[in-house]
Amino acid sequence: MIYIKNKEELKKMRNAGKAVAEVLSRLKEEAKEGVTTWELNEIAEGIASAKSFKAAFKGYADFPASVCFALNEEVVHGIPSKKTVLKNGDILGMDFGAYLDGYYGDSAITVAVGKISPLAEKLLKVTETSLYKGIDKATTSNRIFDISEQIQTYVETNGFSLVKTFVGHGIGKSLHEDPQVPNFVPKSSNGRGVKLKAGMVIAIEPMVNVGTSDVKILDDGWTAVTSDGTLSAHFEHTVAISDNGPEVLTEIIH
């Protein structure tokens, strides 16, 4: 069931989105050589408690932390650790959700630690650009798979592959609502998917790999990695669809 949000709900979702952006903006500054993902998670929790919102992922399906990390070949859902020390040349995905006043926001960025390889740089650029290309299609004249197709075409034209195991989602009173927002056009699909309507809010989140699109889950039961060990990047925004076009609720304001 797809929930259409009214003005009052959208106002609350803007606030949840701002909370997410504030955390990611700070984490982006702090993700430097020598810092652990444990410390970054602590920073996120500190902001959440100071600003009185809830870190949405902590305890969600028993996930043990507030930020989902993804270092290098990790795709999503990595657990922070005192042993994971950032090194020059790493790329680090950070995915954060906030729950505020009954509504969720969800966003992810992947950042460079120090100087990264040209390939890693291209991966980050292509993944982030694919997200914005997808967002451009989030209008009332389109359907879900118009977003999916735009992301897929751009990423594959650039020689990378899209993860198919995990997809974007509707968001609101629940972290994950209908409809699903795949980053590829499903083979079995007839037509263009669900029609987009004003008041729908979706999280668009391409996960892009240098090599195979296949992922495997590590023994911790959470961390997804590329099955060929190549690099992966992830960018995500929570986006409200309106008659005036897409509105990104989790944009980091500098």
Residues lying near Mg ion in the complex (CB under 5 A) are found at: 95, 106, 108, 203, 236
> In whole angstroms, what is the distance from residue 160 CA to residue 213 CA?
9
Closest to Mg ion by CB, 105 vs 199, is 105
> In whole angstroms, what is the distance from residue 119 CA to residue 232 CA?
11
Smallest gap from Cβ 188 to Mg ion, in A, equals 23
Smallest gap from Cβ 56 to Mg ion, in A, equals 9
Closest to Mg ion by CB, 43 vs 108, is 108
Local structure of residue 195 (DSSP, 8 states): B
Closest to Mg ion by CB, 66 vs 226, is 66
CB atoms within 10 A of CB 228: 14
Closest-CA residue to 79 (of 209, 219, 210):
219
Closest to Mg ion by CB, 203 vs 225, is 203
Give strand pairing partners of 109.
Answer: 94
Q: Dihedral of the CA atoms 162, 121, 203, 215 (nearest 10)?
A: 40
Closest to Mg ion by CB, 203 vs 248, is 203
Closest to Mg ion by CB, 38 vs 60, is 60
What would the two tokens of residue 148 be?
């999916």
Closest-CA residue to 98 (of 137, 51, 132, 140):
51
Closest to Mg ion by CB, 88 vs 174, is 174
Smallest gap from Cβ 203 to Mg ion, in A, equals 4
Smallest gap from Cβ 170 to Mg ion, in A, equals 10
Smallest gap from Cβ 7 to Mg ion, in A, equals 24
Smallest gap from Cβ 95 to Mg ion, in A, equals 4
> In whole angstroms, what is the distance from residue 251 CA to residue 254 CA?
9
Smallest gap from Cβ 244 to Mg ion, in A, equals 24
What would the two tokens of residue 134 be?
């997808």
For residue 169, give Cα distances in angstroms to 63, 222, 226, 254: 18, 19, 22, 27
Burial tier of 159 (Cβ tally within 10 Å: 0-12, 13-18, 19+): exposed
